[in-house]
A and B are shown apart, each in its own frame.
Chain A
Amino acid sequence: MATTMDRTDLLSLYRQMLLIRRFEEKSAEMYALAKIAGFLHLYIGEEAVAVGAIAALRPDDYVISAYRDHGHCLARGSEPGKVMAELFGKATGLCKGKGGSMHLVDVEKRFMGGYAIVGGHLPLATGLAFASKYQSLDQVTVCFFGEGALPSGQAHEAFNLAALWKLPVIFICENNRYGMGTPVERAVALYTDITETARSYGIAAEQVDGMDVLAVRSVMRRVVEQVRATGGPFFIEAKTYRFMGHSMADPAHGHYRTKEEVEEYRKRDPLLLLKQTMLSQNLANEADFKQLEQEVGAVVAASIKFAEESPFPAPAELHEDVLME
C-alpha cells in the first residue's frame, strides 16, 4: 500500500473503476434490450487491474488486450460515448461499428485493440514493443490477457521472442480463475504459480492482488520504470475474479462454480476495497462517493443517449477499410 495517500488521486482511481463498473452494468442492460448483440464479455470484478496498470503508463505507451476489453479501453481514456456506440454497432463508434465489443481500437489513445482469438494478440504485443526498440524509443507495451491464453502456443512463442530479444513488453495475465467455465487447475499445468511459466523463459515475474488497485499501480510503476530503463519483458500475474458469467450467454455462477464462491470474492470487490481504505483513512466520506455515482451515472447515461441517437453505418461503409488506398 502506498504510504502517502492523496485524496484527489484516490478519488480519480475510484472514479475510473466506477465508470467501468457502471458502463458494464449498463451494457448488460442494453444487451437484454437487444441494443447490443453478438458476444459481450463484461469486466465487472476486474476493474482494479486495468485501472491500476494503465495509471502507471505514459500516453505514448502501447496497450493491447483480448476480447474482454471495455475496461482497458475506458481506462486508457477513450470516450465512453464512442465505446458504447461501437457496442451498438453505430457509425459513430470507435471503429465505425465494424469491430464491436471484442475489437475496440482507439489509436489516438494508443489502445491498439481487443483481439478475440485466444493467445493471438500476444505476438502482436511483441511487435509493438519491437517497433519501439527498433526506433530507440523508450515506450513500453502492456499486453492484457486471461490465464486461459497461457496454454496457447502463440503465448509461448511470444514469451520466447520477448525474452530472446529483450523487448519492452509487460505481459499482464489477468488470472480470473476461469477460462470460460474451465478452472485454471484444469487448464494450466503450473497453476499453483503461473508466473513460473514466464520465469521458465527467463522473464522476470511477480504476482499482485488484482483486486487492489493501489497494489496493482504500485507494482506497475516499478515495473514500467524498470522496463523503460533497461528494456526486457516482464510478466505480472494479477489475481482477480470476474463477478459475472463468461459472456452474456451464461449466468454469474453457472454450473462450474458456486454462488457461494462468487459471493466470497465479492467481499473483495475492488471498488469496495478502495472505498473502505479511503473511508478508514478519512480521505473521503459517503457524500463524496454519492457525488461520484451521480457524475459517472450521468456520463454513462450520456453514452447511451449518444449511442441511441447515432446513425447506423451507411451501406457504402461495407466495402470501406478492407484495403488502404
Chain B
Amino acid sequence: MVLSYREALNQAMREEMRRDPRVFLIGEEVAYYQGAFKVSKGFIEEFGPRRVIDTPITEAGFTGLAIGAAMAGLRPIVELMTMNFGIVALDQIVNNAAKIRYMSGGQLSVPMVIRGPGSAAHQLAAQHSQSLEAWFCHVPGLKVIAPAAPCDAKGLLKSAIRDPNPVIFIEAQLLYGTKGEVPEGEYTIAIGVAEIKRPGRDVTVVAYSKMLLLALEAAEHLSREGIDSEVIDPRTLKPLDLEPIVASVRKTGRLVIVEEGWRFGGLGAQIAESVYAAAFDYLDAPIVRVVGEDVPIPYSRPLEDAAIPDLPRVIQAVKSLC
C-alpha cells in the first residue's frame, strides 16, 4: 500500500503500542493536538491519556522523566517537536540516557526512542532548521536512525521501539508528506543495515534522510547524460553499516557523500574517514562531500537555498568525479 512518511510512523507506533503495554508516547502536543505534525493522529482516541501524554514545554524535564521510566522497565517514545529542542534536553540525552548502562556496569538499561524532525524545512530560520545528527552520533551509548522512505521509517521505528537501548530517530518536516510503497502487515527492518536504493556502476552516492531524495533525483538526471550512480542510504547512522558502502566504492572507485549538516565535524567526514581506511586503494579520486554551509541557517529564501545542498550541487559534485 502507498503511505505517507507521516502515516508510516503513525502505523509503526500504533502497532507497537497495541503489542506492548509498556510503550507510551510523551511530548508536546502529542495527544489532543494530534501531534505538531500530526504524526500521532488518532492516538489519544485509541490509547487514552495514560499512554498518550501531553507535556508542558519542558524538554529536559520530560526527556529525563522518560529516561527514569525506561530505567524502571517502561518503553517510552519521546516526541521532540523538532530535534532542535533536543538541545534543551541534551544533558539528559548525553549524560543520562547514553551513559546509564555503562556507568552502572550493565545493571541498568534505557530502552527508549527519542524522535522528531531534524533539518531545514522552508524558511524556519536558524534555531529551527538544524541537522544535529553528528552530535548524537558522537556520543557512545546512542543509536541514531534517519530513514528517508516511508517503508524504512515504519520498519525501523518498530525496531527502535523494541530495541533495549536509547535510540535517536531523526525525521524531517519535508519528508512527512512524501509517499511510498509500504508492505502490508507486520514487518520490521533491522537497525544498522544500509540499503542500495539505486544500483549503478560509475559512482557511489551516499545520502540519508531527505538528502536521499535529492541524490536519487540527481541520479536520474545524470543517467540521461550517461553517468550511472549507485545510491546508498545508510538508514541507520550509528551503528553505520559500512560494508555495502565499501563494496560499492570498490566497484565504482568514486564516492560522493550528501548531507545537510554543517561541513566541519559533520557525519560525512566520519563516513569518508571510514571509507579511506577500508578502501583507499580502490578510490580513483578523493571523496567529495556535498554539505551544509558552515553558517547558521538564514531566513531569507535565496540565502537559505544557498546554505543547504541542492540538485545542481549534487549533480556538479558527481560530474566532478566522472
Q: Please list 21 pairs of residues, one from A and one from B, whose beta carbons are closer than 8 Å in the complex, sorted by A's number.
A: A95-B104, A96-B105, A98-B104, A99-B103, A105-B104, A105-B107, A105-B108, A112-B108, A113-B108, A120-B64, A123-B64, A127-B71, A130-B65, A134-B50, A134-B69, A157-B64, A161-B55, A161-B56, A161-B65, A321-B104, A322-B140
Question: In the complex, A132 Cα to B164 Cα: how many Å?
Answer: 20
State whether A322 touches B141 (Cβ < 8 A): yes
Collect the chain B residues with CB atoms within 8 Å of residue A322's CB. 101-102, 140-141
User: A157, B69: Cβ atoms under 8 Å?
Assistant: no
For chain B, give the interface size range. 35 or more
Shortest distance from the beta carbon of A137 to any chain B beta carbon, whole Å: 9
The answer to whether A128 and B69 touch across the interface, beta carbons within 8 angstroms, is yes
Interface residues on A, range: 35 or more
**Please, how many angstroms separate the alpha-carbon atoms of A325 and B67 in the complex?**
19
Which A residues, 45 to 61, have Cβ-Cβ distances below 8 Å to chain B?
none
A127 touches B68 (CB 8 A): yes
CB < 8 Å neighbour of A131 from B68, B96, B100: B68
Contact of A323 among B74, B91, B165 (CB under 8 A): B165
Contact of B164 among A123, A130, A324 (CB under 8 A): A324
> Contact partner of A161 among B61, B70, B102, CB < 8 A?
B61
B40 close to chain A: CB less than 8 A: no
CA–CA, A97 to B96, complex, Å? 18
A-B contacts, CB under 8 A, total? 141
In whole Å, how far is B2's beta carbon from the nearest beta carbon of chain A?
A: 35
Whole-angstrom distance between the alpha carbons of A312 and B165 in the complex?
27
A73 to B309, CA, bound (A): 53
Closest chain B residue, CB of each to CB of A154: B60
Query: B316 near A: Cβ within 8 Å?
Result: no
Q: Does A164 contact B (CB under 8 A)?
A: yes
A99 to B105, CA, bound (A): 7
- A161 to B92 alpha-carbon distance, docked (Å): 15
Q: A113-B108, A127-B66 are in contact. Are A323 and B141 (CB under 8 A)?
A: yes
Residues of A within 8 A of B24 (CB): 134
Whether the Cβ atoms of B71 and A95 lie closer than 8 Å is no
**Does A93 reach chain B (CB closer than 8 Å)?**
yes
User: Residue A310 at the B interface, CB < 8 A?
Assistant: no
Partner pick for B69 among A103, A107, A131, CB 8 A cutoff: A131
Cβ-defined contact, B100 with A161, below 8 A: no
Once the chains bind, are A103 and B58 in contact (CB under 8 Å)?
no
Contacts of B165 in A (CB 8 A): 323-324
* Contact assessment for A128 and B60 in the assembled complex, using a CB-CB cutoff below 8 Å: no
**Known: A98-B105, A154-B91, A322-B140. Contact between A123 and B69, CB under 8 A?**
no
Give complex CA distance A134, B66 in Å.
Answer: 12
Residue B109 lies at the interface, judged by CB distance under 8 Å to chain A: yes
- Give the residues from 98 to 126 in chain B that come closer than 8 angstroms, CB to CB, to chain A: 100-109, 111
* Chain A positions within 8 Å of B56 at CB level: 160-161, 164
Query: Which A residues are CB-close (under 8 A) to B102?
Result: 98, 321-322
- Interface flags for B37-71 (1: CB within 8 Å of A; 0: not) read 00000000000001000011010111111111111
**Closest 6 interchain pairs by CB?**
A127-B68, A123-B64, A157-B61, A131-B72, A95-B105, A96-B105
